[in-house]
Structure 1
């Protein structure tokens, strides 16, 4: 079974009202860490399964503001896969995406599937390892906006408390990807309106 690849009305968990979506999943990731291998393999596997994913292949240059279309795509997605890697928190764009994803989780009922890729979720949760230095740099660059940096800290802690996958527990990435897709389908598929489901060959 696969998810139908067109817009349908989907009830929001917060208000009970219907909303429109274009994508089954939004992929949030740090390109330099995961784009060429893990995310590429995951994206292809999602497509083969009939799951429509949003992946922005354009790397944002230093100093460039995150594109509104990228944030809109989060609002138009049923779920988000957040692949937190060693350099994820060093990107202000990734942190802005994560904040938006958590906002949509609360307001629109978006499902979040975190993957901790080569990083220990307990380090994220307790802000250990490289995280104190990373956020110190953010505070130095944004001295007038420390509240935003604190919100980024809180967002990382929140996602680290969600059930997800730790890549170190898997010997083969293909098996990790298979499990991610299977869990997504079991969590999301049953919640879709009946007329948006169909049988396809995989």
Structure 2
């Protein structure tokens, strides 16, 4: 099992509240792909933010989640059949994209072309446009696809965790290059 190099992990841990923010629709993915990925990344030495694991009663939802997103290095967006029904999922995705985080999409039991923001009357026009823009950007980002009926769970977890680790390493290298410029 691959682990983050100790020096890289210490640098990331000092500068961020978490390495990875896992954005997902709880009702579809908490007990499978999101929860399993969280466990695997933890075993690999990456600190991850998963709402059910990192929040406690009394936490202010948006404050805690927004802080986790803004302080993370990489985002994982687990798209699922009911993902776009959730204001919270779309808000998190938009914030990840707006803050220029690297986002690894996982299309779980859904094709990118099936993802659409629907106007259900709960969002204003500005929010709808924000969500649609973020979703379009995510749809055109190379990601992983998974069919829960036919797919190999161990391969998905291996591929997803390797993608996260590689992106964490690339983010750290970019950070080092920027530091050298100054």
Q: TM-score range by the shorter chain?
A: 0.7 to 0.9
The yes-or-no answer on 1:121 pairing with 2:112 is yes
> If the length of structure 1 is used for normalisation, what is the TM-score?
0.72
Q: Is the 1:121–1:166 Cα contact (8 Å) retained in structure 2?
A: no
Equivalence for 2:135: 156
Q: What are the superposed Cα offsets for residues 52-90 of structure 1, whole Å, 9 maximum, x if unpaired?
A: 1011117x9xxxx84211101111101000101111110
CA–CA distance in structure 1, aligned partners of residues 105 and 169 of structure 2: 18
Map 1:128-167 → 2, pairs under 5 A: 135-137=118-120, 140-142=121-123, 145-167=124-146
* Shift in Å, 1:7: 4.9
Helix, strand or coil for the counterpart of 1:96? helix
Q: Is the 2:74–2:167 Cα contact (8 Å) retained in structure 1?
A: no
Match of 2:42 among 40, 47, 51: 47
When residues 27 and 9 of structure 1 are mapped into structure 2, their CA distance, relative to the original with a 3 A threshold, is: closer
Please list every run of 5 or more consecutive structure 1 residues that lacks an aligned counterpart in the other structure.
11-19, 194-202
Please list every run of 5 or more consecutive structure 2 residues that lacks an aligned counterpart in the other structure.
174-182
Equivalence for 2:3: 2
Q: What are the superposed Cα offsets for residues 131-174 of structure 1, whole Å, 9 maximum, x if unpaired?
A: 5xxx131xx234xx212112211211110110001113972122
Equivalence for 2:152: 172
Give the number of the structure whose residues are more often helix, by fraction.
2
CA–CA distance in structure 2, aligned partners of residues 164 and 85 of structure 1: 13
The yes-or-no answer on 1:84 pairing with 2:79 is yes
> If the length of structure 2 is used for normalisation, what is the TM-score?
0.79
CA–CA distance in structure 1, aligned partners of residues 51 and 119 of structure 2: 28
* Shift in Å, 1:190: 4.8
Q: Is the 1:82–1:112 Cα contact (8 Å) retained in structure 2?
A: yes
Q: Is the 1:83–1:116 Cα contact (8 Å) retained in structure 2?
A: yes
Which of the two has higher C-alpha Rg? 1
* Shift in Å, 1:8: 4.3
